């Protein structure tokens, strides 16, 4: 079976990080977001993958061409102008001569796809949509099923009070090639907004399959941070374990060469990569520090993702932040729910909440 991975989105809600790193390549516990989907496809026996690209296509192609995915072959399709999810997939239809799976690279999906393929065959479906449940449905497409799991209706981003279900479209589809015949050539066309409502109105057999595994939308900074926390605690990833000093509790992975000052406290789920240095009395909780990060004496980093070679100066306080590579957070600065662009210096004793900082913000 073949797969199409949709990797053309700009990831605007993760800016400024996605100014330098396309969303499929953002880091989640020593891997890239797209690697979890690739692993799910490989475990399900996929042998060929077509990747549709647009934004920062060259970076994505270079990264995936250097990736060993168990012998899976890859082709790449480039969109000069965004064609929508269905339009981009239809552009590759010459290569899709049998049942195929479509997956969005905008989500983290460490899931069981074999069960979904078997469900699709058993139902004799033209289209099977992966479904998952969320607490807040207002940012997703909601799906209503009958007792046989056949899709009855859609509801796009309803308020919680109006939603008729908490089952949402998870952005993974198993499709028969004939459904692409309904996608107009050369037009922007989406699966959820355009194609699926057409198939439903025509009475085509469309079914919903509830996913088994870890699925997360990483569209916002807090989602990306939570994804790192959940993967560290829920997904088995081969990592060498090292003895940890006193003051470390919960699920914590730390490289062998981490430097710990006196009185350091680290609470999991947290990850400390190579060359991380923690000053005396530094406190880390629920955070992921990439290679070369320095946290000064008395500084606090909570529920944050700090990429490589950043410096958090003494007594700074960082909470719920996404900090790109090579940044300096000044002494005594306080940042909450703030995104910091690559190479940015934040002044000492400055205060920022719900902000976006940096030249590329």
Active centre residues (catalytic): 157
The CA-atom distances, in angstroms, between 327 and each of 28, 270, 289, 312 are 19, 20, 13, 8
Residue 206, token pair as written in the block: 């469309």
- The DSSP line for 209-273 is EE--EEEEE--SHHHHHHHHHHHHHHS----------TTEESSEEE-TT-EE-TT-EEESSEEE-
| Cα 175 from Cα 215, distance rounded (Å) | 20
Side-chain-side CA neighbours of 89 within 13 Å: the count stands at 31
- How many C-beta atoms surround the C-beta of residue 198 within 10 A? 14
Looking at the chain, the number of H-run helices and the number of E-run strands are 7, 33
Residue 65, token pair as written in the block: 């061409």
| Cα 240 from Cα 238, distance rounded (Å) | 7
Whose tokens are 């072959």? That residue is 73
First vs last C-alpha separation in the chain? 41
- How many C-beta atoms surround the C-beta of residue 159 within 10 A? 9
Whose tokens are 């995915």? That residue is 69
Q: Show the CA angle centred on residue 134, arms to residues 132 and 138, nearest 5°.
A: 115
Rounded to the nearest 5°, which phi and psi values hold at 233? -95, -20
Contacts of residue 92, defined as CB under 8 A and 6 or more positions apart, other chains included, come to 4, 50, 52, 75, 77
């Amino acid at each position: 079976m073949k797969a199409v991975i949709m990797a053309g989105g700009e990831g605007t809600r993760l800016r400024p990080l996605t100014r330098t790193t396309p969303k499929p390549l953002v880091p989640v516990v020593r891997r890239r977001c797209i690697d979890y989907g690739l692993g799910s496809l490989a475990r399900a026996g996929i042998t060929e993958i077509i990747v549709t690209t647009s934004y920062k296509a060259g970076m994505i192609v270079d990264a995936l061409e250097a990736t060993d995915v168990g012998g899976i072959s890859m082709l790449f399709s480039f969109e000069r102008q965004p064609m929508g999810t269905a339009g981009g997939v239809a552009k590759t239809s010459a290569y899709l001569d049998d049942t195929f799976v479509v997956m969005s690279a905008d989500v983290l999906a460490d899931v069981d796809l074999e069960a979904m393929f078997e469900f699709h065959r058993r139902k004799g479906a033209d289209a099977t949509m992966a479904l998952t449940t969320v607490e807040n449905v207002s940012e997703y497409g909601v799906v209503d099923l009958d007792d046989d799991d056949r899709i009855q209706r859609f509801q796009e981003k309803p308020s919680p009070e109006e939603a008729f279900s908490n089952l949402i479209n998870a952005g993974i589809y198993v499709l028969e090639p004939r459904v692409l015949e309904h996608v107009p050539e050369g037009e922007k066309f989406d699966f959820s907004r355009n194609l699926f409502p057409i198939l439903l109105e025509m009475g085509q057999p469309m079914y919903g399959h509830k996913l088994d595994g870890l699925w997360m939308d990483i569209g916002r900074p807090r989602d990306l941070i939570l994804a790192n926390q959940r993967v560290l605690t829920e997904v088995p990833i081969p990592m060498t374990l090292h003895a940890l000093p006193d003051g470390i509790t919960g699920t914590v992975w730390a490289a062998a060469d981490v430097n710990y000052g006196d009185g350091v406290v680290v609470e999991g789920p947290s990850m400390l990569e190579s060359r991380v240095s923690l000053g005396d009395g530094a406190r880390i909780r629920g955070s992921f520090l990439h290679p070369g990060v320095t946290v000064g004496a008395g500084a606090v980093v909570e529920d944050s993702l700090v990429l490589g070679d950043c410096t958090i100066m003494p007594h700074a306080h960082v909470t719920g932040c996404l900090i790109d590579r090579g940044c300096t957070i000044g002494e005594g600065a306080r940042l909450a729910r703030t995104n910091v662009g690559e190479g940015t210096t934040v002044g000492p004793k400055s205060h920022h909440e719900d902000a976006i900082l940096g030249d590329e913000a």
